[in-house]
Structure 1
Amino acid sequence: MAHLTIYRETTPDSTVVSNIFIDEYMRDANDAQLKVYFYLLRMMSARQATSVSDIADKFNHTEKDVLRALKYWQGLKLLDLDYDNEKNLVGIHIRDLSAGREISSEANSGRASSFVPAPAVAPSASSRFSRTVSSETMSADAAPQPAMAVPSRAVLTGAVTADIAPQSSGAVAEDAAPQPFSAPAQVSAPAGDVPSYKKPSYSADQLKAFRDRAETAQLLFIAESYIGRPLTPPEMKTILYFIDVLHFSDDLIDYLIQYCVDKGKKDFKYIEKVAVNWAEEGITTPAQAQKQICRYDKNVYTVMNGLGKSGSPTRKEVEYINRWIKEYGFSTDVILEACERTVLATDKHRFEYAEGILSSWKRQNVHHKSDISRVDEAYRQRQKPAAPPKPANRFNQFTQNSYDFAALEEELISN
């Protein structure tokens, strides 16, 4: 009897999580770390690609939160992060948890489980606010680490070192009682220390003192204009936190709220996460923030790749891309269609050439990719050569006479 082939019409609608992970790793992980790891397993089982930006948008986290979670799991040897020569994250290798207990890594070669996300720049290990833990911090009485997993394929060692590690107890002292608000002076943290960005509990008197400042009224008005409603007292305290603890200028707070609202994020919890990430990166001006944003903006790198560009975009190139997306209102597929035509047409001044195409489509009311065929057909009709004039009849090339035959007939009869 012939063998039967058993198959299903759809892909499995489930994700398998190792019991080792549940028993030994799940307990100490926070909310963001668990979400990221489970989502990676889900995308790997579905054989789908993802990116840092996609994960951040999926769970309403920042790209920095996602990178921290990835570094956390890398530090526990549950996954490996692959980078290119420009330190861009290009791959994630999920390790086999059971391999460390049963068989060696050599016996598991060829059981790789990985996927490639869109490029995202990894934070520099020499960043001003990079979290590091010395060997002295990890003392003998620290909590024992779970059994180390063995990778299921060969990975490059030393490419990235985890710069997020468990902190020793008592590292952050309890906050002193809050004092009436006054404009803080810039204070630099001592060398080797990580600044604390813990949000204080501001009193009603402190909030009132903050609101009574002359410059506060304008800042709150700008924030309310972006959000589209009056701010609540907790939201005002968040802005006070930006100034008091994060030492943000009014211009940087303006740019921060504008950036988050443009992304469709009006929740102040999200805005606060972005602000803390900027503070940890040492960002103090809107120009520095814009440069940081470009590193993680998926649309920017998608368009750059579409035009055959690599590396970080210039300020002028970012202006072009933002104009196409925000001012012209084009979706990514329409922009990539213009990029494809640009690459086929020229090797130089590609942004200017693409600008010419997209501005023309904007004038011709192109809104979707399907509208482009209509514009192309109209262009072809305009380019058709005019029909040549018909040659004159060779028998009618002489001057024609016109006679009044009725008058001639009467004249003949009368005679």
Structure 2
Amino acid sequence: MICSFRTEVTLVANEFIDSYMAAANGEYVKVYLYLLRHQQDNVDVERIADDLNHTEADVRRALAYWERMGALISDREEKTVQEKLPAQEQNLTGKEAARELTNEKDGQERIDRLAEDEDFTQLLYIAQKYMNKIFTSRECQVFAYLYDELHMPAELLEYLVEYCVQSGHTSIRYIETVGLNWHEKGLRTVEEARVYAGSFTKSSFAVMRCFGLTDRKPGDGEKQMIEKWLSGYGFSLEVVLEACNRTMAAIHSPSFRYADKILEEWKKAGVRTVRDIELLDEKHQTRKDRRTVKKASNQFHNFQQRDTDYDAMVLDQVKSWIGTESVR
């Protein structure tokens, strides 16, 4: 379903007429137009069948046809899209209120107001071309929010769609969250977005190389952790790679969870640079030496001193967290 710019009329996109209508059964077109008219209403198959004098089986066949064509998204598919959204993108911003975009009424009012905005209407046209579908009201509202409320330039949003589609993601939820992430990072131009996307990709593969995982791309959960290390924790790639190196030295196998615990401890300790890590190591060694001297000089000091190596300490923490048998 497409979004209507005026509540008193039902607009049909030229894309539907040019690319979808001619090949469709006439009864299917009637169902589609009915849904356009009632896109803000809760309608069921029984009501559609009654109003159009169809059988319920006819209506279901029409709905299935338009879903296959990509012109409609069922409630079932919307739920599936949300469940399959990579965790990396689910947690980029942490601002649930922003994701809700304001209520339905405000969203539709914004759409109506932008109907005469040539840049916005061109943006929707290009985005629908990229995604090979006709937008629902919800999808139009997402772009309207990013464009009008967050003042993201139309050309940046066009690149956002291109970037997501080329990455294999056409969910509006995914596009929305990436857009919010770019806004939070202050990206205002296509060039800035290209640089950011390129730097993240290079950093991801640098981590994979450090772990010896050169035969595949990082998975969604792994991308999420890398994003958290670089953006959430604010570490440089150099610091992240140091944590990866220590992971390999400690357990002799790649483990994102183990590296994550190291970086989490470094963040708590205020580490920002590799030099900070060296200073932390020196302090740890000094404390270790003092405990050794005290233990040797005090003959009445019979209880066992704690003398845990830093990497071993982190390993114990990881084991207690995820289980001794699954430190991977």
TM-score when normalising by structure 2: 0.41
Structure with the largest fraction of helix: 2
Greater Rg, structure 1 or structure 2? 1
TM-score of the superposition, structure 1-length normalised?
0.33
Higher RCO, 1 vs 2 (CA within 8 Å, ≥6 residues apart)? 2
